[in-house]
Amino acid sequence: MGILSFFRSSSKSSASVAKERLQIVVAHQRRENQRPDYFLSLQRDLLEVVRRYVTVSDDAVKVEVDHQGDCDILELNIVLPDR
């Protein structure tokens, strides 16, 4: 750690660290709250389907729900293994 970054990190108050951490965790929590009840089983089933074709890790299938006006958009992100 350089001198400058030492000063910078020590001048940041513990309350502002708390606030930043909270903002992140709360944003995450709110996304989770908006997920429909079938969310986890959908994610599990999708992983199962992908695995019929390729070997992927447990976190290879990412599902997010995005709210836009009146409709909810399901966003799928599937990471395939290196070729």
Give the CA angle between residues 4, 2, 13 to the nearest 5°. 50
Cα separation, 34 vs 26, in Å, equals 12
Which residue in 5, 10, 13, 68 binds other proteins (CB under 8 A)?
A: 13
**One of 6, 7, 9, 25 touching other proteins (CB under 8 A):** 25
Residue closer to other proteins by CB (options 26, 49) is 26
Query: Measured in Å, how far apart are the chain's first and last C-alpha atoms?
Result: 38
Q: Which is nearer to other proteins, 9 or 29 (CB)?
A: 29
Alpha helices in 12-83 (DSSP H): 14-33, 39-51
Q: Which is nearer to other proteins, 14 or 77 (CB)?
A: 14
Summarize as ranges the residues that interact with other proteins (CB under 8 A). Answer: 13-16, 18-19, 21-23, 25-26, 29-30, 33
